[in-house]
């Protein structure tokens, strides 16, 4: 029999008997004309036709249910369909490309015979478990993903190096699962299939390397060859089997890249982007140009949204993080998203993200910069997503202003029930639009006994848009700074400098259903008000940080006073957010301070940040930490590096990795119990390194820096 005739029978026959026959004496002397296109689906008995969307997915049995023989039969049903699909796709490639090298076609034919055998094995074992093939709906995903191939190279990339490579993981994984429940027969079947799959991947890899661009390494050529929705994510299973891939001939670089690769397998991804300088754009207008240190900080921390994202989301970065760094994060238990490098200029018209269906856009902050950057990606957002032009409006812009926060606190202040430990109204800032108004406000504050005063730009980056007035008279440089900020009708907020005892933040999310409080974080700023760290205890989701509770309790406040106060505040804030049309994350900064008379007071609203914050990032990070274990998120700069005796961030990271190794405990998903995790790549960091320290390592880590853990 000619190979072409056999391939036609396998592809178009409507009975399993015909598809699985293995005749003797097959030759390939007359390969014939190329089949112009693939059929919508291969010929099959009616009960094995691909399920329609209306049919719904058959439930894939969980490992916990494999004690039941019938459930094992259901699992084998899925595997049997996969093997039959592979057989049909190999018949298709023989018909579509009769001019392919004879050695390649012989290899496909040999692999096809083994896929037929795998199908027969599964059929027999399935029946023994009480399952009939066709009793469950069968998927045609493999067919839809590969049958559109335009060359043999598409075939080896899509089937051999993707779906068959994934089976190196699945066969091992489920063989172990069957052994666990005492089904050695099924386990032995999967072990035999696993050995064959190594050879199948090796066959595809041999021809892939022969046909690929010789200037590209295997990984780069593989990624270029796949056509969406196929991606390298489809080439791996629950746990990466390095041994099997090495046996198939894949090199260490390819395996490492695959291990950290992430892309959605079906859910439309949300796109995240780190743009922490939005307040700079608002404060200085279109002419804002980040200073070199600011630009370096953005580059260093560009990957941080990965800790806000889900595994199949997209994170935009100037440059994809290094494999070694990502491997470390994966070992620490953090899922990895899909990385997309930002184009230097405008998005090219043919960029994949411009034509891909997306679930949403989630920049660090909505502002002029994110509107400009993300608008080209908004064409295929879901119907429920607000139009991108509604994501940043004048009403939303106002929420960024420090004057809005001051006005909000002044408005809510008289409405709060118990103000015994609340800040006096004189502690609330005053908005000023002229130099004379600033001068009067400063004088008024000082007549009340507050000799130290701070003047903040209404819009500006934390710690970099304020001047502190310690001297009795304003210095010329201070006056020039204030007058410069007020140009163009802009404003400043003038307020007394208070003796802070402890800072904290409240993390919130405003959704269509209303405002939700997600938790509390302690907050550490430097003397200039720039962020340094967030820290949390084991009950951060329900209570403010322990130092806040302790100080207020010592001052005589009831244990739940602060929570009752915020419970009164939230409905007012929610109403304001609805009026502004705001949806998304926000953080509220607050602090406890000592008044001039020695009394402890709370300033419950210092600034509203209508965006993601480092506090929100800290709460998300703590989702990977065991309940009850505290942690700290900290940014370390060059001065920290020097004080800790390090010469480079990379060397410091190596030292701390030895001192504070990551420890994870618990089942079914181990969570962080102790250790230090580096959240941006120490080898690439220019100015700042982000670190998470949890458990006992947190105290040791902060002691090294010279700052005791709160």
The pLDDT confidence band at residue 53, using thresholds 50, 70 and 90, is low
Q: 3-class DSSP state for residue 440?
A: helix
For residue 447, how many C-alpha atoms fall within 13 Å in the half-sphere facing its CB? 6
pLDDT at 521 over 60: yes
Nearest CA to 206 among 153, 134, 280? Answer: 153
Query: Percent of the chain scored above 90 by pLDDT?
Result: 79
pLDDT of residue 52: 78
Please indicate whether residue 655 or residue 505 has the higher confidence score (pLDDT): 505
Question: What's the CA angle centered on 197, arms 196 and 203, to 5 degrees?
Answer: 95
Do the Cβ atoms of 172 and 244 come closer than 8 Å?
yes
Q: Write out the CATH class of domain 399-423+498-612.
A: alpha beta
Helix, strand, or coil (residue 617): helix
Mean pLDDT of the region 445-453: 91
Apex 648 CA angle, 317 and 261, nearest 5: 30
Please tell me the predicted confidence (pLDDT) of residue 705.
Answer: 53
Question: Quick count: other Cβ atoms within 10 Å of Cβ 372?
Answer: 12
CATH of domain 428-495: 3.30.1490
Minimum mean pLDDT range among 311-325, 635-649, 663-677: 635-649
Tell me the angle at which helices 184-211 and 102-128 cross, rounded to the nearest 10 degrees: 160
Which residues 6+ apart lie within 8 Å of 44 measured at CB? 14
Identity of the highest mean pLDDT range in 27-36, 201-210, 689-698: 201-210
Question: Does residue 159 surpass a pLDDT of 90?
Answer: yes
The full set of domain ranges for the chain reads: 66-260, 277-392, 399-423+498-612, 428-495, 623-710
CA distances from 688 to 363, 521, 637, 639 (A): 21, 21, 5, 10
Distance, CA of 162 to CA of 181 (rounded, Å): 29
Any idea what DSSP says for residue 62?
P
Q: What is the mean pLDDT of residues 678-694?
A: 95
Task: Round to the nearest angstrom and report the end-to-end CA distance of the chain.
Answer: 80
Query: pLDDT band at 382, cuts 50/70/90?
Result: confident
Q: How many C-beta atoms lie closer than 10 Å to residue 64's C-beta? A: 11
| Among candidate residues 85, 72, 58, 312, the one with its CA nearest the CA of residue 180 | 72
- If you ran DSSP here, which 8-state letter would residue 529 be given? S
Query: Are 129 and 70 spatial neighbours (Cβ–Cβ below 8 Å)?
Result: yes
Please tell me the least confidently modeled range out of 234-243, 468-477, 490-499. Answer: 468-477
Closest CA to 519 of 558, 563, 577, 475: 563
pLDDT value for 709: 44
- pLDDT of res. 704: 59
Confidence of residue 486 (pLDDT cuts 50, 70, 90): very high
* pTM confidence score: 0.87
Say whether pLDDT at 113 is over 60. yes
For the segment 522-577, what is each residue's pLDDT rounded down to a tens digit? 998 877 777 889 999 877 878 899 999 999 999 999 989 999 999 999 999 999 99
User: Domain 66-260 - what CATH class?
Assistant: mainly alpha
């Amino acid at each position: 029999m000619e190979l072409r005739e056999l391939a036609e029978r396998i592809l178009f026959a409507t009975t399993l008997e015909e598809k699985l026959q293995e005749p003797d004496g097959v030759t390939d002397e007359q390969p014939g004309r190329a089949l112009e296109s693939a059929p919508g689906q291969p010929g099959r008995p009616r009960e094995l036709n691909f399920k329609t969307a209306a049919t719904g997915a058959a439930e894939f049995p969980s490992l916990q249910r494999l004690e039941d023989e019938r459930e094992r039969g259901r699992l084998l049903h899925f595997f049997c369909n996969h093997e039959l699909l592979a057989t049909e796709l190999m018949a298709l490639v023989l018909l579509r490309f009769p001019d392919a090298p004879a050695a390649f076609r012989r290899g496909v034919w040999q692999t096809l015979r083994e896929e037929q055998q795998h199908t027969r094995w599964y059929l027999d074992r399935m029946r023994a478990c009480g399952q009939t093939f066709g009793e469950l709906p069968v998927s045609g995903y493999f067919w839809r993903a590969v049958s559109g191939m335009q060359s043999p190279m598409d075939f080896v990339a899509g089937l051999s190096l993707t779906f068959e490579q994934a089976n190196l993981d699945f066969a091992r994984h489920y063989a172990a699962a069957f052994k666990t429940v005492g089904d050695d027969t099924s386990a032995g079947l999967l072990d035999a299939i696993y050995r064959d799959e190594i050879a199948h991947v090796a066959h595809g890899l041999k021809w892939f390397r022969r046909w690929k661009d010789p200037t590209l390494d295997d990984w780069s050529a593989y990624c270029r060859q796949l056509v969406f929705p196929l991606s390298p994510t489809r080439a791996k299973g629950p746990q990466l089997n390095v041994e099997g891939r090495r046996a198939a001939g894949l090199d260490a670089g390819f395996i490492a890249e695959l291990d950290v690769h992430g892309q959605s397998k079906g859910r439309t991804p949300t796109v995240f982007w780190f743009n922490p300088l939005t307040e700079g754009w608002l404060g200085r207008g279109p002419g804002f140009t980040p200073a070199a240190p600011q630009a370096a900080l953005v580059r260093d921390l560009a990957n941080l949204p990965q800790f806000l994202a889900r595994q199949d989301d997209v994170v935009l970065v100037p440059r994809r993080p290094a494999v070694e760094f990502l491997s470390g994060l994966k070992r620490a238990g953090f899922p990895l998203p899909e990385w997309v490098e930002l184009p230097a200029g405008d998005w090219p018209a043919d960029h994949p993200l411009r034509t891909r269906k997306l679930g949403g856009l989630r920049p660090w902050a909505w502002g002029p910069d994110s509107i400009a950057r993300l608008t080209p990606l908004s064409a295929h957002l879901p119907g429920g997503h607000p139009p991108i032009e509604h994501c940043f409006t004048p009403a939303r812009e106002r929420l960024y202003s420090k004057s809005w926060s001051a006005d909000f606190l002044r408005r809510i202040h008289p409405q709060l029930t118990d103000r015994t430990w609340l800040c006096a109204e004189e502690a609330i800032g005053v908005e000023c639009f002229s130099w004379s108004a600033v001068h009067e406000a400063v004088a008024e504050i000082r007549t009340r006994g507050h000799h130290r005063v701070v003047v903040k730009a209404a819009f500006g980056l934390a710690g970099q848009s304020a001047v502190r007035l310690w001297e009795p008279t304003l210095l010329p440089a201070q006056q020039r700074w204030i007058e410069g900020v007020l140009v163009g009708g802009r404003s400043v907020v003038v307020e007394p400098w208070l003796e802070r005892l402890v800072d904290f933040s409240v993390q919130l999310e405003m959704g269509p259903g209303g405002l939700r409080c997600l938790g509390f974080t302690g907050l550490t700023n430097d003397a200039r008000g720039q962020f340094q760290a967030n820290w949390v205890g084991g009950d951060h989701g329900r209570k403010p940080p322990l130092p806040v509770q302790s100080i207020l309790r010592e001052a005589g406040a009831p244990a739940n006073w602060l929570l009752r106060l915020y419970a009164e505040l939230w409905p007012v804030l929610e109403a304001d957010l609805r009026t502004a049309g705001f949806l998304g994350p926000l953080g509220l900064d607050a602090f406890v301070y000592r008044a001039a008379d020695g009394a402890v007071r709370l300033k419950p609203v210092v600034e509203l940040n209508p965006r993601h914050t480092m506090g929100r990032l800290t709460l998300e990070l703590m989702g990977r930490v065991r309940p009850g274990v505290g942690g700290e998120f900290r940014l370390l700069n060059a001065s920290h590096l020097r004080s800790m005796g390090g010469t480079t961030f990379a060397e410091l990271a190596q030292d701390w990795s030895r001192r504070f190794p990551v420890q994870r405990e618990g089942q079914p998903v181990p969570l962080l119990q102790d250790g230090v995790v580096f959240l941006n790549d120490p080898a690439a960091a220019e100015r700042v390194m982000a670190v998470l320290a949890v458990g006992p390592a947190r105290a040791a880590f902060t002691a090294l820096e010279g700052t005791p853990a709160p």
